[in-house]
Amino acid sequence: MKSNACITKRQKANTSTGRRSRIADPGLRVVLLLGLFVLPITGCDKISGASGKSKSTHKKVCIIGCDGMDPKLVRQMIDEGRLPNLARLEREGGFRPLGTSIPPQSPVAWSNFITGAGPGVHGIFDFIHRDPGKQAAPYFSTNRIVDEDRPDPIKIGQYAVPKEMLLPWVKGAENELLRRGTPFWEYLDERGIPVQMYKLPANYPPSKSSHGHACCLAGMGVPDAFGSQGIFQHFTTKPGRDSKSPEGYKLHLRQTEASGAFSGRIWGPPNEMHVKAADLFVDLKAYPDPVNKVAKLVIVNQNVTGDEEVELILDEGQWSDWTDIRFLKTPVGPTFSVMARFLLQKVRPDVEIYMTPLNFIPAAPEIVFSEPPGFATEIADAIGPYHTQGFAEAFNARKAKLLSDEEYHVQADLILDESLRMMDYALDRYEDGVLFFYFSSTDLQAHIFWWDSDARHPFRTPAQAKKYMGVIEDLYVRMDDAVGRCRAKLGEDVTYIVMSDHGFANFGRCVGLCTWLRNEGYLFAKQSVVLDTDWSKTRAYGLGINGLYLNLKGREKHGIVDPTEKDALLTEISQKLLNLKDPITGQKVIRRIYRADECYSGPEAVNAPDLIIGYDRNYRASWKTCIGEFDSDVIFDNDNAWSADHCMAHDLVPGIVFSNRAILADAPELIDLAPSILSIYGVTAPSQMTGVNIFAAPPDELAAR
């Protein structure tokens, strides 16, 4: 029997803290060095059936989040009769463009949705934040490792044993959720209303369910085994040196046997139990068939009892199933177990193999990425292994030209198929309350394939650009089918909401904001804001996709701009940027500039960039600008496979909202969805929420905006 409650009373004692979760280590579950034992981390029983069927029945709300789904393309396809299920929702309740966040970046936008408020409340302003106390020091905005209070390890020869592995009461490293504010489901959780969320972005580590009625599988923000947002590994027999970058590893396979076998290494993260933190690795062997387009891959997994070979036989162009990879941290343990999938790209003339980032094994995860922790395992028991890394699509490899368009498309569709299997599981498990399911495909395929104009594509012919835009249209059809599957399964006594966090636009030209600031005399550095800035002369710098910061005295570590000069300097920079023109077209490249002190309010507003740059269509910050580096030019072609984006002026890229319940708000926004969901259950929106109920739009809605 299914359970409306997500965890039992016994299980509640073992859940993650949510805002900070201990980084799990397999050493807590094995016999440790020196013959010492520790108690195992207790897991959850299967959540389905854990506490029996709920005695009460709550209203039903099903929310489908399609990241990046664009209202203009949706409107076109509805009018063409290609999205019948969305068209039905529009007839029954309504369809509106949905105002997005400032800036329209996914972690910002989804945090708006989660809290019903803007960045001034939840504190997420960009994908990348800076630490003013360390003068820039960029970090991923939604979560980071906290280990300042971690004690020194116990050294034994060349190994170092973390004390928390031996003494469970010792505090180790923790992963902290940096999103502030109160998520909307907490108000439902405390009233006993079940909430189930699958692949929810901007909620890693997952918020704790204080009353045991909310469960969540975290999505965007969950790292790979390196703690990054996705490091792929690519192997080739072509001559060359190994190279490693934050995006991926390019590795050489060397011939080691007369039989034609090739060998290389699959790399893991630094071994925290090694004094020098040497990187973990296991051996990889490739045996290409001399005649057929097929090869045998052998992964040499490590165990305390000896190595174990795992063999994969793949045809050229074939993906493997999920394959476990085990690294041994010391000769007597523990092991570090993760998983990956392999694509045999070529057998001749050179062997080429792509390996996904190292994902955590959901059936026995090394970290906590669901609330309660056993929720992730329950899903794996039902549908098999699945991507745990938040950014699962292989866009870094496509950007590096190590995957072709077709290979990227196949890999992304594997993820969509996996998501649809998970959705079917979610529908089978659901009884009442709120069900939220997230699809990444409409965003991360659009970044590569979207091109909705006749303008010159960065590298595709007009025919190719049209072909791959068709991929996006096919995706929208599949999302429409998903809506139909939900309605067929759940019936009509349900409020359905289909929404996206933002829309999409072409990205043909880059803007080097840091280079412009340096050219204009606001920024003094040779290589990078992070590396070699002369802060004694620098008055402003760029970091993140849309952010510009003043080097403000009293706030930045080496600030020189007096607060009394702030307004004048911001006005000066804003006017110059708004007049910046593309030397090729003469077009202005920046549509709007937002001042943080005018568009944000709340306790976190003090941490915002001083200016948020709202680029015009076809323009976006350059790749180097995002990490505080410099380009040769200020405005130049984007020749990257990532040829579409949404990090522009927010009014250019609204999202969508559909419902079978009448939408009365003329101009709904993301922040309105949380109070609207609460209203269905008779819960008054708390003062933190600045949105309005779209199903009962107040007469002063426009004035409130």
The model scores a pTM over 0.95: no
With bands split at pLDDT 50, 70 and 90, how would you rate the model's confidence at 5? Answer: very low
Picking from 356, 387, 409, the residue at the C-terminal end of a domain is 356
The yes-or-no verdict on residue 43 having pLDDT over 70 is no
Top pLDDT among 444 and 11 is at: 444
608: in domain: yes
Query: What is the DSSP code string of 563-624?
Result: GGGHHHHHHHHHHHHHT-B-TTT--BSEEEEEEHHHH--STTGGGS-SEEEEEPTEEEE-HH
218: in domain: yes
Domain span holding position 53: 9-150+164-226+372-396+424-504+653-680
Rounded to whole angstroms, the Cα distance separating 206 from 224 reads 16
Q: How many domains does the chain have?
A: 3
With bands split at pLDDT 50, 70 and 90, how would you rate the model's confidence at 170? Answer: confident
Lowest mean pLDDT among 20-29, 241-250, 282-291, 376-385: 20-29
- Mean pLDDT confidence for 254-283: 89
- Same domain (yes/no): 102, 24: yes
- Same domain (yes/no): 73, 194: yes
For residue range 566-602, what is the model confidence (pLDDT) as tens digits? 999 999 999 999 999 999 999 999 999 999 999 999 9
401: in domain: no
With bands split at pLDDT 50, 70 and 90, how would you rate the model's confidence at 18? Answer: very low
155: in domain: no
- Mean pLDDT confidence for 358-364: 94
The pLDDT score that the predictor gives to residue 705 is 59
Q: Are strands 590-595 and 611-615 parallel, antiparallel or unpaired?
A: antiparallel
- Same domain (yes/no): 79, 173: yes
- Mean pLDDT confidence for 130-157: 85
- Residue 115 near residue 101, CB atoms below 8 Å: no
For residue range 446-459, what is the model confidence (pLDDT) as tens digits? 999 999 999 999 99
112: in domain: yes
689: in domain: no
Percentage of the chain lying above the pLDDT 90 cut = 82
Which of 209, 122, 114, 86 lies closest to 438 in space, CA to CA? 114
387: in domain: yes
- Same domain (yes/no): 112, 220: yes
- Same domain (yes/no): 528, 493: no
Rounded to whole angstroms, the Cα distance separating 520 from 538 reads 11
- Same domain (yes/no): 264, 211: no
- Mean pLDDT confidence for 396-414: 97
- Same domain (yes/no): 516, 625: yes
Give the side-chain half-sphere CA count within 13 A for 477: 9
H-run or E-run covering 699: none
692: in domain: no
Q: How many angstroms separate the first and last alpha carbons of the chain?
A: 46
The yes-or-no verdict on residue 24 having pLDDT over 90 is no
Which of 529, 524, 554 lies closest to 539 in space, CA to CA? 524
With bands split at pLDDT 50, 70 and 90, how would you rate the model's confidence at 37? Answer: very low
The C-alpha angle 649, 655, 657, rounded to 5 degrees, equals 150
The pLDDT score that the predictor gives to residue 56 is 53
For residue range 532-561, what is the model confidence (pLDDT) as tens digits? 999 999 999 999 999 999 999 999 999 999
Picking from 356, 382, 411, the residue at the C-terminal end of a domain is 356
